[in-house]
A and B are shown apart, each in its own frame.
Chain A
Amino acid sequence: MTFIAADINELALSIFGVVVALTLFVTYLASKRVTNATDFWAAGRGLTGVQNGFAIAGDYMSAASFLGIAGLIFLFGFDGFLYSVGFLVAFLTVLFLLGERMRNSGKYTIADVLSFRMKERPARSAAALGTLSVAGFYLIAQMVGAGVLIQALVGIDFALSVILTGAFMIIYIVMGGMLATSWVQIIKAILLMTATIVLTLFVLNEVGWNPINLFTEARAESPEGQAYLEPGLFLSSPIDTVSLGLALVLGTAGLPHILMRFFTVPDAKAARGSVMWAVILIGAFYVMTTALGFGARAVLGSGAEEAVGSGGNLAAPLLAEEVGGGAGTVGGDLFLAIIAAVAFATILAVVAGLVISASGAVAHDVWSNVVRHGKDSEKEEVWVAKLAAVGIGAIAIAIAVIGGEGLNVSFMVGLAFAVAASAIFPALLLALTWRRFNTSGAITGVLVGVLSSIALVIISPTVWPGPDSEGGALGFYDLANPGIVSIPLGFIGCWLGTVLSREEVAERSFDELYVRSETGLGAELGTGLTLTGRTGGRRAAAATTTLPHP
């Protein structure tokens, strides 16, 4: 396995170069068209359903999906596939409960929806806190993962890999805003799907085109035997499995960078269509993780357990090398290099989506509406957003580089989903459906959701009392995934805060939000036209920002 050595893999580096050049070209095109805030955060609301569907897929499927799930299945069999199922089913929550309603009610950020009928500043602050927690945890996990992977796959040093990833991410956002980010995500989705389909075909060829052989051959290569095809090797605590499953299925509907994507389409119909496209792509991808994971076990055998690394992240690249012809052959080297470049594109698309959602929370929510009371100009708002993107990117780079490759990030993605499911999802859902819900309820709910998720993860056996600990702060509490406790706590927080106070304005304006979210009457338009044409500052024709297909 020569590529794990510190020397540079030139082939992988050149394919990286091609991918990066393509994304920078798209960013250049976008930079000439993005002029106002609607363009910057919502791509002028000019994406079609198909484009946004690909972008959602690109935004959602992280390197943890591509390399992580393949690795988990390789190492632990069936349990890895449990993640694939949860990640997909989550989109029904998005489709039925939030997608179209977000499009109809919001403008740039999820805080727009939450603060619609509530006291502006506290509601926005709470939503921004939720957004920044989720994006922050997720981003740091992705950056550390990017560094580790690029170092292993290409041979570029960890710190340099992190800095490069962060630099490209900042360039996309500052130059081309959401328009560039969307197209980077679309390109990534196409690359990821193509690479996965080709790899799946190669693997099926290896097992005689009979998918059942994937399981029998994988079982034969596992010392666990039949248990490899059963749940329980990785997720050994039943209640923890259920807790994880709940966080996955409700957390996706609270991920700010996914919800933000619904503001980029012209109407609710396109929002709905984009979810359909996303579930087709994401579902097909996760079905294929069967071939990637079980296939890696069948093809590579138990001898590769050392080589795939502790999380199994190198299982998919090694599988590509093997089915391409083996280490040292032209086919093997090329396939490995392609998979490495796809993994890199995957990371870039996800981190760009995370940072643009965080920049929205900082610039649109905190700066423009909380600090400046909405009296700043649109130009200032976009400038602050770009500064925020640079700042957030720099902080994420710094934490990843200082923390180093040894930083324990395994709990961070789970924590991001827990916060999304326990703090953001309950508040958004109740704001859109419960007339009595008010500002106090939203703030209590978000705070309880964020704090309980973080506190429960800190005292969990994964984290307490230090690195690699198996203790846990409390003897009776041993959940690694807090969802089953923190999600109900989030809902209870929302309810309790609401019933302990009375806000007539919030209840009165429920009618407007309700009718608007269900019918689209009064929703933000792609062209910037408003109901009366007199609302001011929102008249810029953003429809012209539709990018030609690159």
Chain B
Amino acid sequence: MTEPHGTTAGRADEAAEEWHSGTDHHPEIDWVAAERSPEFRELVKKKNAFVVPATIFFLAWYTGFVLLCGYAPGFMGEEFLVDGLTVGYVLALSQFVMVWGLAAWYLRKSDREFDPLAKRAADRALEASAAAAGGRFDRSQEAAASADEVTGR
């Protein structure tokens, strides 16, 4: 492979060269329309409704733990139920449970909810580009096939 790689549409244009030379872009898709499509809006809305509160929660739970370690070592050293087990260690273990729990929850939601929405949004964008291309190829079949190709599904 000796040809230059990472070539994009605007390559020949000197003024455009400082932009986008190393990563493959796909100008054939109308990304602005895709971003505004109701399918993509729904994906982002649903995903953020989970990810944003989950992120705030884990950062708060963890920061709270670290703050207690720093400023309330006595409290963290108090006995929890049995001699030897401390409040600090139990709170530390709660962090492990939180990580496993949130990660598993996110995976479940992604598989059942976010992935189908993402596929819908991607299909919609491909269909729109195919329509804009003026029926140069059969939309219903080619778009479906290339949607699978593009999203790697």
List the interface of chain A (C-beta within 8 A of B): 36-37, 78-79, 81-82, 84-86, 88-89, 91-93, 95-97, 107, 112, 115-121, 124, 212-216, 219, 226-227, 229-232, 235, 237-242, 245-246, 249, 266-269, 272-273, 275-276, 279-280, 283, 286-287, 290, 364, 368-369, 373-379, 381, 505, 508-509, 511-512, 514-516, 518-526, 529-532, 535-538, 540
Contacts and interface: CB of A to CB of B under 8 A. Distances in A.
A369 B70 contact: no
Contacts of B67: 238, 242
Contacts of B21: 120, 369, 373-374
A116 B26 CA distance: 12
Contact of A241 (B18, B66, B96, B119): B66
Nearest to A537: B5
A496 B133 CA distance: 41
Given A368-B6, A522-B25, 20 more contacts: A78-B76, A78-B86, A93-B55, A95-B103, A112-B23, A212-B83, A230-B86, A242-B63, A245-B66, A246-B66, A267-B152, A272-B107, A272-B110, A518-B43, A519-B118, A521-B26, A521-B121, A523-B150, A523-B151, A537-B6
A287 B96 contact: yes
A378 B85 CA distance: 58
24 contacts: A89-B99, A92-B58, A93-B55, A96-B54, A97-B51, A107-B24, A213-B84, A215-B85, A230-B88, A231-B69, A245-B62, A245-B69, A266-B152, A276-B107, A369-B6, A509-B31, A512-B29, A518-B44, A521-B126, A522-B150, A523-B151, A524-B24, A537-B3, A537-B5
A115 to B, nearest CB: 6
Contact of A377 (B1, B58, B63, B85): B1
Contacts of B7: 374, 535-537
Contacts of B100: 279-280, 283
A267 B153 CA distance: 8
A242 B88 contact: no
B92 interface: yes
B132 to A, nearest CB: 14
Given A88-B99, A269-B115, A512-B26, A374 B6 contact: yes
Contacts of B118: 268, 518-520
Interface in B32-85: 32, 34-35, 40, 43-44, 47, 51, 54-55, 58-59, 62-63, 65-67, 69-71, 73-74, 76-77, 82-85
Given A267-B151, A515-B31, A536 B5 contact: yes
B153 to A, nearest CB: 7
B28 interface: yes
Contacts of B86: 78, 215, 229-230
A116 B8 CA distance: 12
B84 A215 contact: yes
B151 A375 contact: no
B1 A120 contact: no
Contacts of A227: 77
A512 B25 contact: yes
Contacts of A124: 22
B55 A525 contact: no
A97 B54 CA distance: 11
A275 B106 CA distance: 11
Contacts of A524: 24
A373 B12 CA distance: 12
A88 B24 contact: no
A73 to B, nearest CB: 11
A517 to B, nearest CB: 10
Nearest to B102: A92
Q: Is the interface of B mostly helix, strand, loop or mixed?
A: helix
B104 interface: yes
Nearest to A250: B59
Contacts of B107: 272-273, 276
Nearest to A36: B1
Contacts of B76: 78, 230-231
A209 to B, nearest CB: 15
Contacts, number: 265
A364 B6 CA distance: 11
A512 B31 contact: yes
Contact of A515 (B40, B66, B84): B40
B40 A230 contact: no
B88 A231 contact: yes
Contact of A275 (B6, B43, B89, B103): B103
Nearest to B74: A230
B22 A521 contact: no
Nearest to A512: B31
Contacts of B4: 374-377, 537
A379 B1 contact: yes
Contact of B34 (A85, A515, A525): A515
Contacts of A84: 92
B19 A120 contact: yes
Contacts of A378: 1, 5
B152 A520 contact: yes
Given A85-B95, A229-B86, A276-B103, A107 B23 contact: yes
B122 interface: yes
A524 B126 CA distance: 16
B56 to A, nearest CB: 10
A511 B35 contact: yes
Minimum-distance CB pairs A-B, first 7 = A230-B77, A238-B70, A537-B5, A245-B66, A215-B84, A241-B70, A216-B84
Given A89-B62, A369-B22, A537-B1, A96 B51 contact: yes
Nearest to B149: A529
Contacts of A529: 149
B129 to A, nearest CB: 9
Nearest to A81: B92
A242 B19 CA distance: 40
Contacts of B106: 95-96, 272
Contacts of B63: 242, 245-246
